Amino acid sequence: MDSGTLSTDEVGAFDLQSTLESGQTYLWGREDGSMYDRGDAYGGDAKYTTVVRPENAPPGDPLGTKVGPQVVRVRQIDDCLEWEATFDAETTLRRRLRLDDDLAAIRAATSDDSILQAAFDRYWGMRVVRDPPFETLISFICSAQMRVSRIYDMQRSLADEFGESVTVDDHTYHAFPTPDALASATESQLRDLGLGYRAPYVQRSAEMVASGEGHPAEAAGMAYEDARESLTQFVGVGEKVADCVALFSLGFLQAVPLDTWIRTTIAEYFPECDRGNYAETSRAIRERLGGEYAGYAQTYVFHHLRNDGTERSD
DNA sequence: TAGATACCTTATAG
DNA sequence: ACTATAAGGTATC
């Protein structure tokens, strides 16, 4: 196993638990098994694991020289991010966790509204993630009308059932399924995993990618609103899910997914931004929150409201 | 083209 | 215990 460390001196403030347990990514698991278990506790120094595929690596990433699924584990001890992996994972971690983002500059470019500043203060160091496009597409197709903890369970079930396995240190992990694997699944098999009406959406969208009809990564080079429109070609993907893929995978930091939480926030704090339809409301709240970094603002507000809004965690 | 409705499943509130 | 409601919406009519 390779290993290494990254400190805040190198990458600025970061908060691993908030980054990985804020409903942005469903590709990591906690070694203690309590991912998204509220109630049980603080995972400040928990160890997180994910399985990555060499074919998802950008040019120059040491990951790209490997064959078959690879494993990365990370934990945060105070100001230090410690990792161990079956390859030299620093490049991958910097990219996937957006460790090169200048958080202070991003915050400075967003609005000074109290709700947003409270979220920044509370979870300072949280990063927007940059997950692989296909994985993100499927995860957020599954997210429709679903709680975060259940979305996570569903992705875990998909991986266990259809993903390639890899064993490290006597522990077996499963990679996220390939487009081929999910395209070959039947609706009935997917319903058995509890996907409900999302089952045919997942199968058909996977089939589109597997057959070459389209790929979510193709939207990366487009102008933001064209990218969002393009992503809705996939079955089960409307404007909201398209924004999630744009933000959490394709690097469109201006994307603000209009979910139930942000809609509540708009009604309460920014009623003038409600323009009656998705596209116009999206533009208004994007300009209001932070323009090119509005998606970062949304991610902080979402996590803050979901974590501290209605429930008492203490 | 805008608006209403059905849709799987499960955790939680009442 | 039992029912109603809502959960990071979308497709269809």
Q: Output the pLDDT for position A37.
A: 82
- For residues A68-84, average pLDDT: 97
pLDDT (tens digit per residue) in A217-252: 999 999 999 999 999 999 999 999 999 999 999 999
Query: How far from A230 is each of A116, A227, A270, A280, A282, CA to CA, in Å?
Result: 30, 5, 28, 18, 16
pLDDT at A311: 43
Nucleotides of C under 7 A from a protein CB: 6-11
Tokens of A124: 């300072």
Phi, psi of A47 (to 5 degrees): -100, 130
Nucleotide minimizing C1' to CA distance for residue A153 = B10
- For residue A15, what pLDDT band results from cuts at 50, 70 and 90? very high
Q: Mean pLDDT over residues A78-101, rounded? A: 98
User: Does the pLDDT value for residue A4 go beyond 70?
Assistant: yes
**Token pair for residue A126?**
């949280």
The model's pLDDT over A244-291, given as tens digits with 9 standing for 90+, comes to 999 999 999 999 999 999 999 999 999 999 999 999 999 999 999 999
The Cα A160–Cα A173 span in angstroms is: 8
CA nearest to A135, candidates A80, A189, A176, A193: A176
Q: Is A240 a catalytic residue?
A: yes
Q: Strand B positions with any atom < 7 Å from protein CB?
A: 2-3, 7-11
Cα–Cα dist A304/A122, whole Å: 7
Q: What is the pLDDT of residue A309?
A: 77
Closest-approach nucleotide to residue A232, Cα vs C1':
C10
Catalytic residue among A240, A288, A303, A304: A240
Q: Do A2 and A88 touch, CB atoms closer than 8 A?
A: yes
Q: Beta A47-52 vs A70-77: how paired, if at all? A: antiparallel
CA dist A80 and A161 (Å) reads: 35
Q: Does the structure show a pLDDT above 90 at A23?
A: yes
A122's CB contacts (< 8 A; 6+ apart) are A304, A308
